[in-house]
């Protein structure tokens, strides 16, 4: 538990976020444009995209928007926080934490959820779970905007990517937004029976249950579906939250809410009372113009959680006695090392999020178990590892990537390099070849692979070797994966 975080600078003079939801406009055209773009930002910035038609967007496209902030990849990153709000126990705890990234060139959106129990060290405030940072900062600095800015900086350290904007919404706003669009439709994958759901604004509990299958949810039920975790897990809850975000987007796409003055007024009242953001009106206009071109199939969702056998399983539960009896999650391995790479893959190269390259890993060195260990780590990056085992011998000195040759209709060879190599070369540098060794050809290794990685001693002897930190956890609570390993293997020693 002896680790350090980058010290975040002390608070600066308060700069209040623009009150974009509070100003009254008397010009009807300006008012309608503001309402339109307010809905867009509420939807787009929370991953709920393209809520309006091209006709309604004409108001936006005519406006002079400001250029959105972006990183070196041309991506704009949003921090999305959900709180209980006033009159709720722990109303300022950010129990929903997501980073959404918009690629302005390709209009792809990637979202990654961070678990609320992630434990962070803090030299300015106090060590705590990540969901307490906003509350602690707001209390210390006496400002909502400074609290949000401080939380943004802390989460940037975890993710390793810049965050340009933040948006915070509370439970009341969430419920009213769902009701304002007429409810949402979701497919409940498994039944939930939670007898410990917090009852309204009290310290009591009530039972929440929902059956599997297609369900139409009003705002109150959607909130319960999103928050319930006592009989499931934070991992399942994060999945449901992203499912609800997608359902709201689908409802917005299928409804003519933008043409209903009553619905627009209702939504605007909800937003201005329950949502805070540092995005300016002119930036909203620009964001609205981008929203019209975002396709529903270009949105990807990912999670960070504590199941090491699955995509995103980079954290674990240490012994509670070492954390004052609290249940917390910390990263397995070097601080933020794998998590930074995870965010780099899914946010900075979103075109790889749907990659289906089948990968085999073969150990060509004397280091026993290298293929198995590398496979375990790469699976957490959501790669499809179909087979792992020993290579042709143990004397391979240089790691090599082998991929199949491909030809066009005229029999001419074409570029067949898998796109995922762009990421793999960052973490496991190696040669590339489309000439598979005869030994592997004869064994039929191409039958279930598009890419074969033959590990050499340049990798296994390197300080960048992908050691599986779950093999060496000195203070972890007992963990049993709910899944069964199904990857085909060969004996590796």
Contacts of 234 (CB under 8 A, 6+ apart): 115, 116, 117, 305
Out of 278, 303, 328, a domain closes at 303
Burial label, 306 (beta-carbon count in 10 A; 0-12, 13-18, 19+): buried
Position with higher pLDDT, 372 vs 90: 372
Out of 242, 272, 303, a domain closes at 303
148-181 per-position pLDDT tens digit: 999 999 999 999 999 999 999 887 778 888 888 8
Same structural domain for residues 388 and 452?
yes
Percent of the chain with pLDDT over 70: 74
| Domain assignment present for 18 | no
Position with higher pLDDT, 284 vs 367: 367
Same structural domain for residues 279 and 372?
no
pLDDT band at 47 (very low <50, low <70, confident <90, very high): very low
Q: d(Cα 12, Cα 211) in Å, to the nearest integer?
A: 50
Residue in the block written with tokens 């071109």: 293
| Domain assignment present for 132 | yes
Domain with 164, as residue range(s), is: 28-303
Domain count, the chain: 2
| Domain assignment present for 174 | yes
Position with higher pLDDT, 20 vs 207: 207
pLDDT band at 258 (very low <50, low <70, confident <90, very high): low
pLDDT for res 204: 78
Token digits of residue 365: 């060195």
pLDDT band at 371 (very low <50, low <70, confident <90, very high): very high
pLDDT band at 486 (very low <50, low <70, confident <90, very high): very low
302-323 per-position pLDDT tens digit: 999 999 999 999 999 999 999 9
pLDDT for res 59: 46
pLDDT band at 235 (very low <50, low <70, confident <90, very high): low
Same structural domain for residues 37 and 120?
yes
| Domain assignment present for 449 | yes
318-362 per-position pLDDT tens digit: 999 999 899 999 999 876 689 999 999 999 999 999 899 999 999
Same structural domain for residues 71 and 191?
yes
| Domain assignment present for 188 | yes
Same structural domain for residues 55 and 163?
yes
Percent of the chain with pLDDT over 90: 48
pLDDT for res 230: 65
Same structural domain for residues 285 and 375?
no
| Domain assignment present for 311 | no
pLDDT for res 40: 46
Same structural domain for residues 374 and 295?
no
- What's the CA dihedral at 347, 352, 353, 354 to 10 degrees? 160
Same structural domain for residues 287 and 362?
no
Looking at residue 90, which CATH number applies to its domain?
3.40.630.190
pLDDT of 251 above 50 = yes
Indicate the average pLDDT of the chain: 80
Same structural domain for residues 363 and 230?
no
Q: Which of 91, 239, 279, 294 is nearest to 173 (CA)?
A: 91
Burial label, 42 (beta-carbon count in 10 A; 0-12, 13-18, 19+): buried
Same structural domain for residues 279 and 195?
yes
Out of 303, 323, 342, a domain closes at 303
pLDDT for res 156: 97
* HSE-CB for 177 with a 13 A CA cutoff: 28
pTM for the model stands at: 0.78
Q: Which of 262-266, 397-401, 454-458 has the lowest mean pLDDT?
A: 262-266
Sign (positive or negative) of CA dihedral 420, 422, 428, 430: positive
Same structural domain for residues 296 and 363?
no
pLDDT for res 11: 38
Which phi and psi (to 5°) does residue 429 adopt? -60, 145
| Domain assignment present for 433 | yes
Q: d(Cα 475, Cα 155) in Å, to the nearest integer?
A: 25
| Domain assignment present for 318 | no
Sign (positive or negative) of CA dihedral 268, 270, 272, 276: negative
pLDDT for res 335: 66
pLDDT for res 157: 95
Same structural domain for residues 256 and 391?
no
Contact 63, 285 (CB under 8 A): yes
Q: d(Cα 54, Cα 292) in Å, to the nearest integer?
A: 7
């Amino acid at each position: 538990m002896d680790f350090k975080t980058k010290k975040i600078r002390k608070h600066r003079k308060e700069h209040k976020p623009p009150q974009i939801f509070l100003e009254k406009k008397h010009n009807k055209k300006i008012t309608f444009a503001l309402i339109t773009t307010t809905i867009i930002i509420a939807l787009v910035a929370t991953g709920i995209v393209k809520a309006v038609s091209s006709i309604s967007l004409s108001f936006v496209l005519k406006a002079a928007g400001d250029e959105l902030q972006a990183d070196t990849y041309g991506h704009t990153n949003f921090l999305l926080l959900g709180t209980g709000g006033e009159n709720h126990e722990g109303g300022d705890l950010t129990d929903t934490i997501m980073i959404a990234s918009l690629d302005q060139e390709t209009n792809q959106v990637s979202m990654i959820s961070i678990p609320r129990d992630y434990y962070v060290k803090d030299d300015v405030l106090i060590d705590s779970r990540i969901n307490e940072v906003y509350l602690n900062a707001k209390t210390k600095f006496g400002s909502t905007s400074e609290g949000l800015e401080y939380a943004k900086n802390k989460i940037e350290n975890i993710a390793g990517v810049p965050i340009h904007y933040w948006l915070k919404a509370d439970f009341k706003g969430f419920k009213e937004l769902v009701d304002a669009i007429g409810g949402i439709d979701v497919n409940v994958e498994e039944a939930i029976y939670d007898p410990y759901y917090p009852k309204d604004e009290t310290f009591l509990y009530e039972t929440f249950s929902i059956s599997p299958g297609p369900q139409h949810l009003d705002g109150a039920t959607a909130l319960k579906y999103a928050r319930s975790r006592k009989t499931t897990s934070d991992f399942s809850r994060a999945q449901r939250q992203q499912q609800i975000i997608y359902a709201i987007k689908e409802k917005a796409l299928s409804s003519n809410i933008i043409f209903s003055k009553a619905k627009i007024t209702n939504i605007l009242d909800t937003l201005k009372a329950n949502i805070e953001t540092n995005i300016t009106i002119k930036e909203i206009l620009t964001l609205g113009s981008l929203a019209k071109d975002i396709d529903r199939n270009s949105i990807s969702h990912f999670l960070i959680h504590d199941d090491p056998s699955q995509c995103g399983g980079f954290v674990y539960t240490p012994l509670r006695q070492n954390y004052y009896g609290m249940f917390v999650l910390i990263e397995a391995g070097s601080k933020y090392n794998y998590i930074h790479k995870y965010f780099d893959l899914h946010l900075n190269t979103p075109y790889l999020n749907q990659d289906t390259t089948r990968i085999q890993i073969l150990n060509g060195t004397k280091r026993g178990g290298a293929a198995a260990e590398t496979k375990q780590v790469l699976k957490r990056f959501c790669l499809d590892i179909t087979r792992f085992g020993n290579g042709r011998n143990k004397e391979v000195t240089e790691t090599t990537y082998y991929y199949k040759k491909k030809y066009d209709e005229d029999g001419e060879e074409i570029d067949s390099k898998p796109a995922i190599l762009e990421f793999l070369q960052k973490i496991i540098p190696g040669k590339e070849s489309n000439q598979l060794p005869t030994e592997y050809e004869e064994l039929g290794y191409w039958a279930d692979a598009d890419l074969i990685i033959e590990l050499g001693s340049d990798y296994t002897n390197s300080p960048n070797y992908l050691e599986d930190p779950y093999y060496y956890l000195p203070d972890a609570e007992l963990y049993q994966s709910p899944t069964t390993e199904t990857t085909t293997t060969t004996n590796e020693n």
